[in-house]
A and B are shown apart, each in its own frame.
Chain A
Amino acid sequence: MKLAIEQLTRRFDGIDALIDVSCTVKAGEILAIAGPNGSGKTTLLDIVTGLTEADRGDIFLGDKRLIGKRPEHIAALGVARSFQIARLFHGLTVLENLIMADATEREGLMSAVLRGEGVAEKRARERAMEHLEYLGMAAYRDTAAAKLSAGQMRRVELGRLLMQERAQLLLLDEPTASLDPEMTQIAVKVIEGLRSKGKAIVLVEHNLDVVHYIADRVMVLDQGRKMADGKPSEVFQDLEIQAIFLGGGGNSHASHR
């Protein structure tokens, strides 16, 4: 399914977080969003997932409008995301964290009281274990998430994305942060695998090597404005764009205010 973002605008306390940002991502495509800190990348993901309201603009996934919907409804339409700082249920085990990414219909109070463990629950656990083994986390299945290192949490987050098979749009906020080079390669493989399954992927990424390697297109944000959108090889040729990354943002050409 195709994601279309139209003229998205959001201000916080008089500061522009996003100004008139539009972009699209097709199924089976990876759009990387790059830009200095505070350029509005995470705000964009927060608005798409319904965690932050937009002041103006519109968002469509396929023919479904996302703006104005609650996070759980947006999730139900097939949107999955990861967070800049890996976010897990700290009191749940690694295995439980993965299963939480699976279908929700087993979680009724009545079925808890009346029925035993169902087939679907068992199936979910098997799938979760497969992913944990692939990510080298099988030994930690019963460890509370709070006890994991940052890198391990990141792996569990990847596992959670793999569990969300029904999701059509994945929003990944720096999935390779705090991963060692070996794990970074695995993460890149995971993301490529998800693309090949026809998912639309938005990737916020600081590691420009990863962006060059994996992204089909890159959108550059600076101070809430869209500065460029195109193939990574072409976009990063642009001297003005290079200046944004070298100068850490706040360049004169971006400051119309």
Chain B
Amino acid sequence: MTDYLMHLAIVIGIYATLAQGLNLLLGYTGIISVMQASLYGVGAYISALMASQAGVSFPLAFASASIGAALTGFIVGAAITRLQGDYLALVTFGLAVIFYDVFNNWLTVTKGPMGIPGIPAAFETKEAWLVFVAALAVAALLLVRRIDGSPYGRLLRAVRDDEILASVLGRSTQRTKTTVFTLSAFLAGAAGSVYAHYITFIDPTSFTAMESVSLLTMVIIGGMASPVGPILGAGFVVLVAESLRFAGLPDATAAPLRQVLFGLLIIVAMLFRPQGLMGRYRLSK
């Protein structure tokens, strides 16, 4: 039982780190990205391949995954952040499909739908994992809190509110958005590496656009532009998903029902509480 609870806490910690990155994008800077899970996948694949093919140690694989994902995020961000609002969201959708295609079809590297099994676990015990993942989630939290109260955080919120005004006041909105994209990709890559080494198996189905929508749900439910929001959101979403399994539903029914529930949660949040549980910010004109 404690093993199971610790497992849940570890999963929540991984998602909280991932959602924290999306919080910087969506909550602070107002960028809807549906490719966060793709960058998570980039991190997971880099780490898995380095560890299982080249026998690289976990710390090095973890660092490479974070930096590799950040680099991917930077390239993507530099290319697409000149697009505005909903157009940007659509392009991230397209990119999510492209990344999925690469994970699924680049057989020589990713093994395609077969996935990569036997990724060496970084820690022996659940306790050690829990400590590591908790430290990671707290580090992400502290980072976002630090940004939240700084001139940089103010710049992000300003870009979110009015890009044109920000540019007239001398800010390069494109550069700002690219930096945030890179930073959120860095967090996604770190989370992806941890996921790969914790579960010890990855395949493309964990890195779909739909997975990104779950992440959006976490940020929206938890509350945008709130540092603790993503942690609450991740906890809420993971526990709701698990409670469906506790209700005695078989996996084949629980998975689609979970999806229905997330969809409804998003709709209800948008209709009645666009600022989420903890958020101070609500999407507005």
Residues of chain A lying within 8 A (CB to CB) of residue B49: none
Q: Give the shortest distance, in Å, between A115 (CB) and chain B (any CB).
A: 9
A44 and B211 CA atoms in complex are apart in Å by 47
- Given A89-B165, A92-B154, A92-B161, also A109-B147 (CB < 8 A): yes
Q: Is the CB of A91 within 8 A of B152?
A: no
Give per-residue flags for B118-147: 1 if the beta carbon is below 8 A from chain A beta carbons, else 0.
000000000000000000000000010011
- Given A49-B168, A111-B152, also A91-B160 (CB < 8 A): yes
Which of A70-78, A181-189, A190-198, A225-233 makes up part of the contact surface?
A70-78
Residue A112 interfacial (CB < 8 Å): yes
- Given A92-B158, A99-B154, A100-B154, also A113-B167 (CB < 8 A): no
- Given A89-B157, A91-B281, A112-B146, also A107-B151 (CB < 8 A): yes
Q: Which of A50, A70, A100, A121 contacts B158 (CB 8 A)?
A: A100
- Given A107-B155, A109-B152, also A87-B167 (CB < 8 A): no
Residue B264 interfacial (CB < 8 Å): no
Q: Give the shortest distance, in Å, between A214 (CB) and chain B (any CB).
A: 23
The tally of residues in B whose CB lies under 8 Å from a CB in A reads 29
Please name the residue on chain B nearest to A76 by beta carbon: B170
- Tell which of B143, B151, B162 has the most Cβ of chain A within 10 Å: B151
A101 and B153 CA atoms in complex are apart in Å by 15
Q: Give the shortest distance, in Å, between A69 (CB) and chain B (any CB).
A: 11
Q: Is the CB of B152 within 8 A of A108?
A: yes
Q: Give the shortest distance, in Å, between A205 (CB) and chain B (any CB).
A: 20
Interface set, chain A 59-114, CB cutoff 8 A to B = 70-72, 75-76, 81, 83, 87-92, 96, 99-101, 104, 106-109, 111-113
Q: Give the shortest distance, in Å, between A234 (CB) and chain B (any CB).
A: 33
Q: Give the shortest distance, in Å, between A166 (CB) and chain B (any CB).
A: 10
The tally of residues in A whose CB lies under 8 Å from a CB in B reads 30
Residues of chain B lying within 8 A (CB to CB) of residue A107: 151-152, 154-155, 171
A104 and B159 CA atoms in complex are apart in Å by 13
A146 and B157 CA atoms in complex are apart in Å by 14
Interface set, chain B 235-285, CB cutoff 8 A to A = 281, 284-285
Q: Give the shortest distance, in Å, between B203 (CB) and chain A (any CB).
A: 34
Q: Is the CB of A109 within 8 A of B179?
A: yes
Please name the residue on chain A nearest to B280 by beta carbon: A91
Residue B172 interfacial (CB < 8 Å): yes
A108 and B150 CA atoms in complex are apart in Å by 9
A87 and B157 CA atoms in complex are apart in Å by 15
A72 and B171 CA atoms in complex are apart in Å by 5
A49 and B164 CA atoms in complex are apart in Å by 10
Q: Is the CB of B162 within 8 A of A89?
A: yes
A87 and B151 CA atoms in complex are apart in Å by 20
- Given A72-B167, A113-B146, also A90-B172 (CB < 8 A): no
Q: Which of A71, A112, A121 contacts B168 (CB 8 A)?
A: A71
Q: Is the CB of A100 within 8 A of B162?
A: no
Residues of chain B lying within 8 A (CB to CB) of residue A89: 157-158, 161-162, 165-166
A104 and B158 CA atoms in complex are apart in Å by 13
Residue B5 interfacial (CB < 8 Å): no
Q: Which of B158, B172, B285 contacts A72 (CB 8 A)?
A: B172
Q: Which of B153, B164, B171, B183 contacts A104 (CB 8 A)?
A: B171
A73 and B22 CA atoms in complex are apart in Å by 29
Please name the residue on chain B nearest to A163 by beta carbon: B169
Residues of chain B lying within 8 A (CB to CB) of residue A101: 169
A156 and B97 CA atoms in complex are apart in Å by 45
Q: Is the CB of A75 within 8 A of B168?
A: yes
Q: Give the shortest distance, in Å, between B107 (CB) and chain A (any CB).
A: 38
Q: Which of A51, A71, A72, A112 contacts B153 (CB 8 A)?
A: A112
Q: Give the shortest distance, in Å, between B132 (CB) and chain A (any CB).
A: 21
Please name the residue on chain A nearest to B155 by beta carbon: A107
Pairs across A and B, CB under 8 Å, 14 listed: A72-B167, A75-B167, A87-B162, A91-B157, A92-B157, A99-B151, A107-B155, A107-B171, A108-B152, A109-B147, A111-B151, A112-B146, A112-B147, A112-B151
Beyond known contacts A72-B173, A96-B154, A99-B151: 6 more, CB 8 A cutoff: A72-B170, A72-B171, A90-B284, A91-B161, A91-B284, A107-B171
Question: Which A residues form the contact surface with B (CB < 8 A)?
Answer: 49-51, 70-72, 75-76, 81, 83, 87-92, 96, 99-101, 104, 106-109, 111-113, 121, 146
For the complex of A and B, list the 9 residue pairs with the smallest distance between their C-beta atoms, beginning with the closest. A75-B170, A112-B150, A112-B152, A71-B167, A89-B161, A107-B155, A106-B151, A107-B151, A89-B158
